[in-house]
Chain A
Amino acid sequence: MAGKGIAGDIRTAREHDSAHKHVSGTAVYVDDIRVPDDTLVVLIGQSPHAHARITGIDLSAVAAADGVVAVLTHADIPGRNDCSPVYGDDPILAEDVVSYAGQAVFAIVAETMRAARDALPLAKIDYDPLAAVLTIEDAMRAGSWLGPSVTMESGSPDSALAGAPLHLSGRIEIGGQEHFYLEGQAALAIPGEDGDMTLHCSTQHPSEIQHKAADCLGVPNHAVTVETRRMGGAFGGKESQGSLPALLAALAARRTGRPAKTVYDRDDDFMLTGKRHDFRIDYDVGFDSEGRIQAVLFEQALRCGMSWDLSEAIAARAMCHADNAYHIPHMRVVSHRCRTHTQSNTAFRGFGGPQGMVGIERVIDQVAHHLGLDPLVVRQRNFYPHKFSAGTVKGRTPYGQVVEDCILQDIVPRLAADADYEARRAEIEAFNRTGGMIRRGIALTPVKFGISFNTTFLNQAGALVHVYSDGSVHLNHGGTEMGQGLNTKVAQIVAHEFQIDFDVVKITATNTGKVPNTSATAASSGTDLNGMAAQAAARTIKSRMREFLAEQHQCMPDSVTFANGRVRAGGAQMSFAEAVKACYLGRISLSATGFYATPKIHWDKARSCGRPFYYYAYGAAVTEVATDLLTGENRILRTDILHDVGRSLNPAIDIGQIEGGFVQGAGWLTTEELVWDEAGRLRTHAPSTYKIPACADRPPVFNVALFDDGENTEDTIHKSKAVGEPPLMLAISVLMALSHALESVGDDYPMLDAPATPERLCLAARRLGGPGIALGDK
């Protein structure tokens, strides 16, 4: 292949396809779409009670207010009053009972947001408050569950635990997390002829909104089209939670015959939408004096909120990550799905995996502390066997999947050496022994994260590719762009297939009219699925072109080549555009769909076993922190990451995902704290009280590298690996490093819960008998 290749090929650090628009302010988000002048806005009237019966609704004064065009209650829904993703248990607008403070009860449709806000307090709604179950504690006591508890088991956990030489047990509480996508939930509905509805949504799941909107309007799916060009961040928070604003906009548009838009402001977004699940994990572990873990029993209780939402699959993923990277022969995980009168918790980057993983990392850390060993040594002693390990015994997870691709034995020693882990740990311990008020800590934690939707049927994707007669290419697929660079990667894949420059490929908005019945862009699988589907579509077109050109130029179809923007057939050589033109004149179809379904996977939900994941993504991080024992104030001083993305499709995008995921995970485990009051009202519903990482919270020394020997052992798109979620869990190293810093304070294990806020650190230091008290008394 002569020449310098195509611009923006795979494996190049091509910048985000919309980068130019983002820096110049011309990228269009839902709330930026030019709308007709008569477009209305929708404002949601929320429940002030966590749990109450509605005894009377009088909205006449609201309806009569200036600028109000309509008021909607559940009685105004022509079809089904439901916006849930799975179980039919999320009313769009409450009927007789409200189940969380913030729940949508009615909607005001008005000329302007100002008019809607002014009318809001005129609503008269009578409530009869009912007893509310708010916390995991409450729910476990009251037996308030959404469904039966589920057990996953391998080996003989009870007898193995009893037979183990050493035992520990404990509990860790892990807080939830608000997504805080910078662009709030947003949807615009435009009514059409025949009762049709077009929706522009900030959603990870256009197909679901299409189907739910059709149900609530009482029309077939074909009457609704949903389009998503981009989201201003999503992180799982727009997988199911985009339905409510979209359905209300559709109902308002149907009712008034005018376009209508629902855009949550930040406070409403906090109050209305679900978050990452908080967990309480109890454990019993049996191990030997070397730190080899023989058996673990976990009880995971998660707060699901008032309805299922996606909690069942999230709980399953938490169970499937209770082992993280460790081969534990005897294990039982019991999962309790707590029903509470709070927001219905939902998908968030990692989807339960992070909480499951924090559980086992805590166990390992406590075992190491008990034995006086470096936790890294204990971790390494328990890793799943390496992919090339001698012998026939591969590691088997508690859910029965054989771990065939483990490379932590390659990643971890390399990272430990590059980050100078051992020497720094020794230096830190010496420093802490001097007994000052500042203590430092360091931890290296690994990640093994399963890639594929736990729910097997979701692992499918479609794409649509047109080649126009001038040689330009229109690319569409079922995935959605939320900043992760999916569109860029898929366009690189198509450009590579046709061997044309990236800019010849036009990326277009996700649209249910182009690719139907898609899955959410989630589970990190956006590129794995949609990249394969787009490649298949491009290959179909290429093979039609090959056949035609072979006939025209008297050669074998296989000998027709596409390289560096040129096509060769027999003795002829032409540009891609010329080849396309010839095919067009030869009446060859230049449009194709592509489809992909992940092979090999299956999952038995009832028995919690199978092969839910096509492969695993691996990585590891070393983090060093410092904390002030007196105030609990803490900082990350340095983080080093080595992460496996297989063979990277775009190193710049992959590294960006790793950095962003790590910092978001660090926020979850340190500063981001959600607080509900005794009445069940969320009190941290704005950035003034809910602290996500800011620029100065980023580690000052932050070395991020891709594992350059990485290659997916499975046949994924160009041997790459998914990268969206796994790096978030690298931040568990921050929590463990903070725990390490506290270990120097007393003899006991710190038992640090998450998020490790200054208050928690301070209290833990006191509990351990730290010098904080003495000095504080002076």
Chain B
Amino acid sequence: MTMVNLTLNGKQVSADVPDNTLLVTFIRETMGLTGTHVGCDTSQCGACVVHVDGESLKSCTMLAAGAEGASVTTIEGIADGDSLHPMQQAFHENHGLQCGFCTPGMVMSAIELVQDNPNPSETEIREGLEGNICRCTGYHNIVKSVQAGAKMMGG
């Protein structure tokens, strides 16, 4: 067992978990935040993307212990009270989702993409989201959402 201490969505949390606990398991099961999804368990689908110290990361690729002391933000932690983050708002308004299972990871990846590149071209968005799989939408509205989200984020 390992004691893991980290900041989760701005709150200090700690828990004693088996050494091999993945960050995604820590988030979903230990902390009960189920907005972060598991789509493949093998770091390929992007459904589990969270931010660790501001960088997007597939939380199924990292041990919880590896995030010791870090600041972790999940989909539940990006809205400002009742008002959605502009990227959440953009996915909502632009029909950037169907079953919604990929959505939290998409939104988290998209936010980082825009933070790094405030004015992404369509091609840059397409390439930037290569690590996030969506089986439902055909990506058209996802790209539209990211473009709208980038604008709203002030790009």
Q: Which residues of A contact B (CB under 8 A)?
A: 13, 15-16, 18-29, 31-32, 34, 114, 179-184, 230-235, 265-267, 482-485, 652-653, 656, 659-664, 686-688, 692-696, 698, 700, 702, 704
Residue numbers in A under 8 Å from B98 (CB-CB) = 16, 233, 483-485, 656, 660
Contacts of A696 in B (CB 8 A): 126-127, 130
Q: Give the contacts of B18-32 with A (CB-CB under 8 A).
A: 18, 20, 28, 32
Q: A18-B100, A182-B47 are in contact. List 12 more A-B contacts (CB 8 A).
A: A21-B100, A23-B92, A27-B100, A29-B37, A29-B101, A31-B34, A182-B39, A182-B99, A660-B136, A687-B133, A688-B42, A694-B133
Asked if A232 and B122 make an inter-chain contact with CB atoms under 8 angstroms apart, the answer reads no
With A25-B36, A27-B100, A232-B100 in contact, do A266 and B76 touch (Cβ < 8 Å)? no
A21–B99 Cα gap in the complex (Å)? 11
Q: Which of A232, A267, A698, A700 has the most CB of B within 10 A?
A: A232
CB <8 Å contact, B45 and A687: yes
When the two chains form their complex, are residues B39 and A266 in contact, meaning their CB atoms are under 8 A apart?
yes
Q: Are A22 and B40 in contact (CB under 8 A)?
A: no
Interface string of B25-65 (1 = CB under 8 A from A): 00010001111111111101101000000000000000000
> Is the Cβ of B97 less than 8 Å from the Cβ of A233?
no
- The reply to whether A23 and B137 form a contact with Cβ atoms under 8 Å apart is no
Contact B44 A686 (CB under 8 A): yes
11 contacts between A and B (CB under 8 A): A181-B99, A182-B39, A182-B45, A231-B99, A232-B100, A235-B135, A483-B99, A653-B95, A656-B95, A662-B138, A688-B44
Number of cross-chain contacts by CB at 8 Å: 181
A233 contacts B99, C-beta separation under 8 Å: yes
Q: Given A182-B45, A663-B138, A702-B140 in contact, is the A23-B103 Cβ separation under 8 Å?
A: yes
B32's closest neighbor in chain A, by CB? Answer: A34
Docked Cα-Cα span, A36 to B74, in Å, equals 24
The reply to whether A24 and B75 form a contact with Cβ atoms under 8 Å apart is yes
Q: Which residues of B contact A23 (CB under 8 A)?
A: 75, 84, 88-89, 91-92, 97, 103-104, 107
Question: Chain B residue with minimal CB distance to A696?
Answer: B126
The answer to whether the Cβ of B147 comes within 8 Å of any Cβ in the partner chain is no
Closest to B91 in A: A23
The interface residues of chain B lying within 8 Å CB-to-CB of A660 are 98, 135-138
B107 to chain A, nearest CB (A): 6
Q: Report B118 CB to chain A, min CB distance, Å.
A: 19
Across the interface, B99 reaches (CB within 8 A) one of A232, A266, A662, namely A232
| Also in contact, A266 and B135, with CB within 8 A (given A16-B95, A25-B74, A702-B140) | no
**B contact residues, range:** 35 or more
Residues of B within 8 A of A22 (CB): 91, 97, 100, 103-104
A-B pairs with the 9 shortest C-beta distances?
A: A25-B35, A483-B99, A232-B101, A22-B100, A663-B138, A25-B75, A483-B98, A32-B34, A659-B138
Residue B142, interface by CB 8 Å: yes
* Contact between B142 and A695, CB atoms less than 8 A apart: yes
- CA A282 to CA B79, docked complex, whole Å: 57
| Given A24-B76, A182-B134, residue A686 in contact with residue B97 (CB < 8 A) | no
- Shortest CB-to-CB span from B129 to chain A, Å, is 4
State A693–B136 Cα separation when bound (angstroms). Answer: 11
Nearest residue in B to A727 (C-beta to C-beta)?
Answer: B138
> Closest approach, in angstroms, between the C-beta of A669 and any C-beta of chain B?
14
Contact B37 A182 (CB under 8 A): yes
- List, in ascending order, chain B residues with CB within 8 A of A31's CB: 34, 38
**Nearest chain A CB to B148's CB is how many angstroms away?**
13
Select which of A19, A27, A34, A704 is within 8 A of B92 by beta carbon: A19
Please, which residues of chain B bring their CB within 8 A of the CB of A29? Answer: 34, 37, 101
A183 touches B99 (CB 8 A): yes
- CB-based nearest B residue for A660: B138
Q: Taking CB as reference atom, which chain A residue is nearest B140?
A: A659
Could you say which residues of chain B place their CB within 8 Å of the CB of A687? 40, 42, 44-45, 133
Q: Which residues of B contact A664 (CB under 8 A)?
A: 135, 138
Contact of A28 among B33, B34, B104, B142 (CB under 8 A): B34
Report Cα–Cα, A208/B87, bound state, in Å.
Answer: 39
**B114 interfacial contact with A, CB 8 Å:** no
- Asked whether any CB of chain A lies closer than 8 Å to the CB of B143, the reply is yes
With a cutoff of 8 Å between Cβ atoms, the chain B residues found around residue A13 in the complex are 95
Q: Are B97 and A16 in touch, CB under 8 angstroms?
A: yes
Interchain CA distance A94-B142 in the complex, whole Å: 43
Question: Is the beta-carbon distance between A24 and B84 smaller than 8 angstroms?
Answer: yes
Whether a CB of chain A sits under 8 angstroms from the CB of B141 is yes
Contact with A24, one of B35, B38, B42, B45 (Cβ below 8 angstroms): B35
Instruction: Report chain A residues within 8 Å CB of B130.
Output: 694-696
Contact A698 B143 (CB under 8 A): yes
Q: Is the CB–CB distance between B138 and A180 below 8 Å?
A: no
Are B135's CB and A182's CB within 8 A? yes
Q: Is the CB of B97 within 8 A of A698?
A: no
- Complex CA–CA separation, A26 to B141 (angstroms): 21
Shortest Cβ gap from B56 to chain A (Å):
15
A114 touches B18 (CB 8 A): yes
Q: Which residue of chain B has its CB nearest to the CB of A180?
A: B135
Within residues 99 to 116 of chain B, which ones have a CB less than 8 A from any CB in chain A?
99-104, 107
Complex alpha-carbon distance, A662 and B33, angstroms: 34
**Complex: A235 Cα to B135 Cα, angstroms:** 9
Question: Of the candidates A114, A182, A661, A698, which one forms a contact with B126 in the assembled complex, judged by CB atoms under 8 Å apart?
Answer: A698
Tell me the bound Cα distance from A230 to B99 in angstroms: 8
Question: Chain A residues with Cβ under 8 A from B79's Cβ?
Answer: 24
**CA A26 – CA B129 in complex, angstroms?**
23
B16, CB-defined interface residue at 8 Å: no
Interfacial chain A residues near B91, Cβ < 8 Å: 19, 22-23
Instruction: State A518–B135 Cα separation when bound (angstroms).
Output: 26
Q: Is the CB of A695 within 8 A of B42?
A: no
B131 to chain A, nearest CB (A): 8
Complex contacts, A26 vs chain B, CB 8 Å: 35, 76
Residue from the list A181, A232, A485, A663 in contact with B139, Cβ < 8 A: A663
Which residues in B have their C-beta under 8 angstroms from that of A652?
A: 95
Contacts of B76 in A (CB 8 A): 24-26
Closest residue of chain B to A702 (Cβ to Cβ) is B140
Shortest distance between the CB of A597 and any CB in chain B (Å): 29
B141 — nearest CB in chain A belongs to which residue? A656
Docked CA distance A660–B92 (Å): 17
B152 to chain A, nearest CB (A): 13
Give CA–CA (A45, B30) in the complex, Å: 27
List of A residues within 8 angstroms of B99 by Cβ: 181-183, 230-234, 482-483
For A18, the chain B residues whose CB sits under 8 A away are 100
Determine if B135 and A25 form an interchain contact, defined as CB atoms under 8 angstroms apart: no
Tell me if B93 counts as interface (CB < 8 A to partner A): yes
Q: How far is the CA of A19 from the CA of B140 in the complex (A)?
A: 16
A664-B138, A702-B140 given as contacts; is B100 within 8 A of A695 (CB)?
no
Chain A, residue nearest B35 (CB) = A25
When C-beta atoms are compared, the residue in chain B nearest to A483 turns out to be B99
Q: How far is the CB of A111 from chain B (nearest CB, A)?
A: 12
